Structure 1
Amino acid sequence: MKNIFKIIAILFGFSVLIYSCDKDPDKPVYDLIESPETGAVLRTISIDNNLLDVFNPESAFKVTLEEQDEENGALMENIEVLVAFNDRTPDNGTTPPSEAMAKTIPASDFSSGPIGLPRATVSVTFGEAVSAMGLTEDDYDLGDIIVVKFRLNLTDGRSFGPESSSSVLTGIYFNSPFQYNSLLSCTPPPGDYVVKMFDSFGDGWQTDGGNGGSGITVVLDGSTTIEVGMCSYHEESDFECTGWPSGQGENECGDQYCFFEAEAIVTIPEGTTSAAWNFPGDQYGEIRFEIYAPDGSLVFDSGDFGETGAGLLPFVVCAD
């Protein structure tokens, strides 16, 4: 691998596979489609880690899944876990796309979840993925993508996977994409990261909500979450605004158009092995932000106002 620091533009687009679980007209799927096909889904409960440390073969992509079929899980035979490589860093040469089987998980590895359906946390390590695809260090670099795909096999011979997906219920109850992107990353430098935030309209941030919303979240080692953001004129929050129009102070401004800038600190402790930065979105296309590493270098610039969409922020900073 040639570089230990990159800023990468990555598209995280998923399609969603949806089939009905039974013929109860009260189910939400029946509100949207008139003649649903009976089948099965793997519903995403949570993505527990989507960063793979290229220097640690045991670093693992993890997702918690819930299986649902017309017999409430009784038809599941197994899940095949496939991995595919997506080369996003042509500086070290272009590695052709590849796909391979990483493992098979039997239905017996699932246990009954809170609503009586089979549920399990499924993982695939970086070492398992590159071994399955036959990749070497010369083939991948920081910022490349390993796509983790699932194929759900039923006891009656039917199978479901990404190729049979549709966008009927994107983001609603089932949330069953059958594939996920995992970013090749590394151990981040510890210290204070400065997040500078801006709003072009002057009424503060509206991210995933019209009157304010969530901030940027940083998930450390897949468990600890730090959240920072910019205040909004429209609702109270713990976020702050520190910038004011030229020549005016806070007391002189006095209306909703005073909320232009903010700055926050994200402290990554010593011993942290991964940090996933996520942006909740931009309701009105008025937001931009910059992230600076502990050494003062700019490591991520969201671009023009409204340019960055919701999701995992595609930048990598590695400790020496």
Structure 2
Amino acid sequence: MKKYILIIAVLFAFVSCEEENVVYDSENGQTLANFSVSSVLLPTPTEGASTTVDVFVSTKTDSERTVTVEVDPSSTATSDQYTISGLTIPAGAFGTTLTISSNFDALPEEGRANLVLNLVDVSGSNDLVIKDSPLQLEFYRECPITAGDWVINMTDSYGDGWQTDSATGGSGLTITLGDGTVFEVGLCSPYGSAAGTFLGDGECTPNNGSEGTATITIPEGTESAEWFFPGDQYGEIGFEIISPNGNVAGGYESGDAGTLTIDYCK
């Protein structure tokens, strides 16, 4: 019995030593490289904006290395809309931090510019393997909220008012300001009660089941406003949001419920 115990002990010690000797070579081993994130949304005010993304590598060297990225053909952003810096990995480091900046003036007045970057090389690295995960960035203009009277022109294609989150009426379009003020507007429904300030004060006249206009006033100094639409039970609802400057800044036409994107640059 003692002999068996001794053999087992020797084998265990041998296996333990073998495991301890398996050490990754961070200088001469295979180099793995990848972006730290896969997507970034970058709202851009008039003064421009920037974001940082790390590039990680699994080895280090005694000299600087250059990170090479390429713009994917699926990108819609043009070269004047952004800049990229930080493409050098310092000696002895396991990566670098890229800085991507966006240019408000060059961005489209409406919609977003999409930039897709592929990581293609890290110079001076052994047996390089790059994680197949591009970096996707979206740039769009971000403007301060315009104070004044905002007009919401509302329609219902069936002519029986809005049925939003309820088949008998439901909630209205809500606008929540940063100070907690909440506006709620909608087109009246004859089928049931509806919360908020609805046209006709709950009484539907022959025309306000088909179309109507509501106005809210956003005061000076308002820093944030969330516009939320609760839903469209029958696919009949439409509206457009007119800024104090007289431009269409947002809207909806029989789509999904949720937070609305308002173009305050208009």
TM-score normalised per structure 1: 0.40
Q: Which has the larger radius of gyration?
A: 2
TM-score, normalised to structure 2, is 0.48
